[in-house]
Amino acid sequence: MKPVPDPKEPPRFKPDGTLDRLAMKLVMNPYDKYAVEAALQLREVLGGTIVGVSMAPPHAVDAIREALAMGVDEFILLSDKRLAGSDTLATSYALSMVLRRLWGKLGGVDLVLCGVESADSNTAHIGPR
């Protein structure tokens, strides 16, 4: 799940022209809501545990709370200053390492669901990578 800038608020930029995510309210990416809903429907039929994962700044907690309120069982927030500004390849790699650890902890991961793209960058790279 990617927290994205709230579309109801004007964007704020850093001097280098990139989005200043720390100065903006973040909400759950709308496309990721579809993935969460699909996971909830699958759990209803098949059982299991839904673990949400996000790589985001610490103040993305409100977006994470929304996923938990929808019914996600637990959530992992990967947040580190060294990850700030990561491109899609680095983000995909970092998230894959979280999945690798989950695999070891849970004894397997049956399915990974991702939103089709993020509402802020629209790259659609993370899921396929």
Domain boundaries defined on the chain: 3-106
**Residue 33 token pair:** 């809501």
DSSP state of 21: G
What is the per-residue pLDDT across 43-54, written as a single tens digit (0 to 9) for each? Answer: 999 999 999 999
CATH number 3.40.50.620 is the correct assignment for the domain at 3-106: yes
Residue 47, Ramachandran bin (φ over 0: left; ψ between -120 and 50: alpha; else beta): left
- Please, are residues 125 and 92 in contact by the beta-carbon 8 Å criterion? yes
Cβ neighbours of residue 57 closer than 8 Å, sequence gap 6 or more: 21, 22, 26, 79, 84
Give residue 23's pLDDT band: very low, low, confident or very high (50, 70, 90). Answer: confident
What gap in Å lies between CA 94 and CA 91, rounded to an integer? 5
Closest of 4, 2, 21, 3 to residue 12, by C-alpha: 21
Tens-place pLDDT, residues 77-120: 998 888 888 888 888 899 989 988 888 888 888 888 988 767 67
Contact 12, 23 (CB under 8 A): yes
> Packing angle between helix 30-46 and helix 61-70, nearest 10 degrees?
30
CB crowding 56-84: b at 16 or more within 10 Å, else e: bbeebeebbebbeeeebeebbbeeeeeee
Model pTM above 0.85: no
